[in-house]
């Protein structure tokens, strides 16, 4: 949701001070239907007459500043001259995104998730990639955010689900018992028809619900805590797996975690990548693994980039691992080749 705040008789500096106060106030815990939630906000600022002398221009430039703040992971941002061209580029990219699916410019890459105790690939995370005809590779963060802003995220997510579930069927026919994990955004949790769509896909491709894991961040659920929780329960009722993605970077509250109907948590790669060099990260990772197990959850470590980290995670009792040391994200054909080679080599557990 977006809201407009008009501050009379102030300048950019004054607006920044007000933005800081507003954000701090919204971050205070609020009680909603028995749950403690915290609101998150991002602010874009445009000042009269510095950034425009009519309402339409000021609104447009405040929106540009808002998008800048979001893309830079900042709490607020003031409009900077020259950003209008960036906005025009974004609009052009948004128009191209509308036809990207029909032109088959979007493809899925898959990154394996390795069971550390059995040394077997259990799932592969589906990651969407856009190969633009003139721009080349468009970063996922850029076009996924654009899909959310332009209302095309529902279409994109449903395409990913259909393509990924169909791929699982193909893997099974080749003798690879590998499932797939698909990411959901906060907007997807507002898609009332999503559970029925997922159920229809599983039936169409004869895929067991347990072969599908849907990953969502805590922040996405808490954007609308009541509806988000209801959606997770509806999805869980289908028999599919649910995972909290990027655990440790969002709310990460035990009071939230114990209420979420999930099967696994994924430790964010920022804690895993420096496992051998940062004692604090090692403590956090090991404690999170113990916490997850005590709550009956599987634990996945993201961002595994070397053998030493993999062995430490195995020693910590981590269930699954994912990262470039195991495999980088692979397009469909290379993923099948990777699975075939792994089956031929048959690496024993603990090796």
Element holding 136 (H helix, E strand)? strand 136-138
Residues 60-87, mean pLDDT to the nearest whole number: 80
What is the pLDDT at residue 119?
92
Total residues found in the chain within this entry: 351
DSSP-assigned letters across all residues of 242-271: EEEEEETSS---HHHHTTS--SEEEE-HHH
Contact 123, 341 (CB under 8 A): no
User: What is the pLDDT confidence band of residue 49, given thresholds at 50, 70 and 90?
Assistant: confident
Q: Does the pLDDT at position 351 exceed 60? A: no
Percentage of the chain exceeding pLDDT 70: 93
Give the best-scoring range by mean pLDDT among 50-54, 69-73, 85-89, 249-253: 50-54
List, for residues 101-158, the tens digit of each pLDDT value: 889 999 999 999 999 999 999 999 999 999 999 999 988 988 898 888 778 899 999 9
Pairing of strands 35-37, 212-217: unpaired
What is the pLDDT at residue 294?
94
DSSP-assigned letters across all residues of 192-241: TTHHHHHHHHHHHTT--GGGEEEEEEHHHHHTTHHHHHHHHHHHHTTT-E
Distance separating alpha carbons of residues 119 and 77, to the nearest angstrom:
47
145: three-class secondary structure by DSSP? helix
List, for residues 146-201, the tens digit of each pLDDT value: 888 778 899 999 999 999 999 999 999 999 999 999 999 999 999 999 999 999 99
Distance separating alpha carbons of residues 109 and 130, to the nearest angstrom:
10
8-state DSSP, 347? P
Pairing of strands 106-115, 330-331: antiparallel
Q: What are 175's strand-pairing partners?
A: none
Give the predicted TM-score (pTM) of the model: 0.77
List, for residues 224-277, the tens digit of each pLDDT value: 778 889 999 999 999 999 999 988 776 556 777 788 899 999 999 999 998 888
Domains along the chain? 12-81 (no CATH), 95-345 (3.20.20.450)
Three-state secondary structure along 47-75?
CCCCCCCCHHHHHHHHHHHHHHHHHCCCC
User: What is the pLDDT confidence band of residue 33, given thresholds at 50, 70 and 90?
Assistant: low
User: What is the pLDDT confidence band of residue 2, given thresholds at 50, 70 and 90?
Assistant: confident
User: Residue 324 burial by CB count (10 A; 0-12/13-18/19+): exposed, middle or buried?
Assistant: middle
Half-sphere exposure of 179 (CA within 13 A, CB side): 19
Give the best-scoring range by mean pLDDT among 24-33, 74-83, 121-130: 121-130
What's the distance, CA 300 to chain centroid?
15
With CA atoms as reference, report the closest residue to 145 among 87, 85, 67.
67
Distance separating alpha carbons of residues 238 and 199, to the nearest angstrom:
7
């Amino acid at each position: 949701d977006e809201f407009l705040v008009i501050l009379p008789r102030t300048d950019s500096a004054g607006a920044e001070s007000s933005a800081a106060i507003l954000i701090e106030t919204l971050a205070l815990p609020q009680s909603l239907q028995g749950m403690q939630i915290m609101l998150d906000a991002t602010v874009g600022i445009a000042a009269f007459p510095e950034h425009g002398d009519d309402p339409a221009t000021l609104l447009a430039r405040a929106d540009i500043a808002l998008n800048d703040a979001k893309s830079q992971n900042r709490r607020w941002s003031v409009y900077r001259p020259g950003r209008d061209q960036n906005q025009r580029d974004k609009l052009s990219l948004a128009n191209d995104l509308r036809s990207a699916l029909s032109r088959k410019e979007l493809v899925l890459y898959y990154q394996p998730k390795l069971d550390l105790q059995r040394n077997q690939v259990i799932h592969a995370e589906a990651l969407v990639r856009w190969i633009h005809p003139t721009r080349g590779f468009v970063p996922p963060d850029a076009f996924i955010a654009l899909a959310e802003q332009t209302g095309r995220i529902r279409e994109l997510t449903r395409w990913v689900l259909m393509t990924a579930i169909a791929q699982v069927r193909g893997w099974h026919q080749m003798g690879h018992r590998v499932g797939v994990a698909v990411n959901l955004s906060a907007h997807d949790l507002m898609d009332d028809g999503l559970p029925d769509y997922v159920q229809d896909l599983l039936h169409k491709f004869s895929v067991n619900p347990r072969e599908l894991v849907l990953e969502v961040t805590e922040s996405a659920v808490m954007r609308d805590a009541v509806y988000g929780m209801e959606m997770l329960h509806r999805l869980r009722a289908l028999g599919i797996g649910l995972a909290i993605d990027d655990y440790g970077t969002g709310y990460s509250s035990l009071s939230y975690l114990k209420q979420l109907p999930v099967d696994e948590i994924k430790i964010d790669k920022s804690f895993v990548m420096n496992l051998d060099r940062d004692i604090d990260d090692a403590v956090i990772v090991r404690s999170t693994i113990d916490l997850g197990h005590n709550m009956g959850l599987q634990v996945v470590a993201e961002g595994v980039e070397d053998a030493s980290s993999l062995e430490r995670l195995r020693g910590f009792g981590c269930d699954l691992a994912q990262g470039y040391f195991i495999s980088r994200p692979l397009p469909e054909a290379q993923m099948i080749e990777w699975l075939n080679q792994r089956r031929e080599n048959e690496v024993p557990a603990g090796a």
